[in-house]
Structure 1
């Protein structure tokens, strides 16, 4: 009969430290292949962000089952490994290792000085650009547009006429187009707006959309955005530059020989060559 543990002995068992575990700790085997804690750590590191937020136990169970399943399927494929699969494995290994180098280069922290330099290069010489806030009434014929101009000159409300007559999508909003810069409108419309003073009417002006009666509401000068507003895009730009520099440096030091082969590019679609 198995002897029961005394209270003191039981306490000793419960407080004993767990056996040390490392990346080589085996969690499962598939045939002769071991799946280790290290495999799970490496897998978790490359999971999309939404999966990183899962509880550890759920991640552990899910990843272990996935690795077991992948190994089962990989073993089945290796039982009759085709040339296509061999080449595919070479490409996957190449892409994985290349990605690790890129990840390492991208992980270097960008300094404030680097961000400031990127800002100065992108926006330092930026001159303020004019922006316009205008409204318009769009109709099909010049005669309709002329009649609207006459009503406006007689004191009619622009927004009311736009809601009543405009065929454009801004009509229900009183014809308001909001703020826009140079190059954002068709040339004929932009040219008419640029020639107006705030509060002044313009038109009729013909474009491919029809005939426009225009009112310039306001103008302003758009300056360069503050650094903090564009920091995220500058961070990305600086990181991209570092990755590109790392790739260029490694590539320049590599022994690369491109063969002079006369080849029909269409052959890249011939999967039969892998059989």
Structure 2
């Protein structure tokens, strides 16, 4: 019983906006679809995989992370119910009512707007466009020097001098860090601090590292509030730009939004528009933060 109630709830939510869907779907073209493409029938008319695809696009937010087989079942149930009720509405001459015609005109305009903008934006924002925008922005990033450092933290200066002597004697920095460092976080990685820029590391370590060449370590202990450090500079570089693949979706989204605004602005510029109500700026949406 609970599962039937749950399913009925899904169908109720999916039928919100069903008028749009009934405009878009033919539910059984004159040329009968291949059986493999048919997902249901109502009074002998086919509901096809294409119909199902449109419904899935429209209801994707309501469906959330539902498993694919459950999603397919729920959508087919919703389409069947939509077809049954739509047929009953036609039989009752609802299609001749002014209310239907007004909603039909609105949803037709809404669908035309959506498809028009989608097609124009897709033509303007290509993979090459996204790559060019990335390259342009990456070129503007000012160089930031980063150093990859390792350190060994000792409790006393004499311990630090002992470690420096061991390094001069041929022991590896990684091994000594793992054995001797008091920094419990970095010692497991051989004292590795990763790439750090100015101001991202203890000032005394940063100042000491600035005097080193890659592969060199400090010849005297570096004192700080934490103890005594032995510091190794592994590599120096200018910070690379974020990887293209990591930020391409955000770049594409921004370009698409900008192009959509440009298209709408251009169309408004040549249209004769009369807004017969006052312009009122809506209140800002509440984001949960105090400003």
Distance 1:65 1:251, change over 3 A: same
Query: For 1:10-37, what per-residue CA distance to the aligned partner results, in whole angstroms no more than 9, with x for missing partners?
Result: xxxxxxxx95258xxx9449xxxx9965
Give the TM-score of the pair, scaled to structure 2: 0.50
Asked if residue 200 in structure 1 is aligned to residue 217 in structure 2, the reply is: yes
1:150 is matched with 161
Structure 1 residues 21, 172: closer, same or farther in 2, change over 3 A?
same
For residues 206 and 115 of structure 2, the distance between their equivalents in structure 1, rounded to whole angstroms, comes to 50
- How many residue pairs are counted as aligned between the two chains? 210
Q: Quick one: which of 153, 171, 174 aligns to 1:138?
A: 153
> Contact 2:150 / 2:232 at 8 angstroms: preserved in 1?
yes
Deviation at 1:118, TM superposition (A): 1.3
Q: Could you say what secondary structure the match of 1:166 adopts? A: coil
Deviation at 1:151, TM superposition (A): 0.7
The CA deviation string for residues 53-105 of structure 1, in whole angstroms up to 9 with x for no partner, is 968xx876441124457999xxxxxxxxxxxxxxxxxxxx8xx8687676556
| Bigger relative CO (Cα 8 Å, ≥ 6 apart) | 1
Q: Equivalent residues in 2 for 1:178-257 (5 A)?
A: 178-198=194-214, 199-201=216-218, 203-206=221-224, 210-222=226-238, 224=240, 230=244, 233-234=247-248, 236-247=250-261, 249-250=263-264, 253=268, 257=278
In our comparison, the structure showing a higher alpha carbon Rg is 1
- Paired position in structure 2 for 1:44: 56
2:280 pairs with one of 259, 263, 266: 259
Does the CA-based 8 Å contact 1:35-1:68 persist in structure 2? no
SS at match of 1:152: helix
Structure 1 CA distance for aligned equivalents of residues 230 and 245 of structure 2: 38
The whole-number CA distance in structure 1 between the counterparts of 2:139 and 2:234 is 27
Secondary structure in structure 2 of the residue aligned to 1:124:
helix
SS for the counterpart of 2:123 is coil
Q: Following TM superposition, by how much is the alpha carbon of 1:213 offset from its aligned partner in structure 2, in angstroms?
A: 0.5
C-alpha contact 1:134 1:176 (8 A) present in aligned 2: yes
1:218 Cα deviation from its structure 2 partner: 2.0
CA apart distance, 1:215: 1.7
CA distance in 2, matches of 1:149, 1:172: 18
Counterpart of 1:64 (choices 66, 71, 76) is 76
What TM-score comes out, normalization by structure 1 length? 0.53
Deviation at 1:147, TM superposition (A): 2.2
Query: Is 1:121 aligned with 2:136?
Result: yes
Deviation at 1:240, TM superposition (A): 2.0
Deviation at 1:221, TM superposition (A): 2.4
1:219 to 1:104, Cα distance in 2 relative to 1, 3 A: same
Q: 1:100 to 1:110 in 2, by over 3 A?
A: closer
Q: Which sections of structure 1, spanning at least 5 residues, go unmatched?
A: 1-17, 73-92, 267-275
For residues 132 and 242 of structure 1, what CA distance do their matches in structure 2 show?
A: 37
Q: Residue 52 and residue 194 in structure 1: after superposition, are their counterparts in 2 closer, same or farther (change >3 A)?
A: same
Unaligned runs of 5+ in 2: 1-28, 34-39, 85-106, 287-291
- 1:255/1:113 CA distance change after superposition, 3 Å: farther
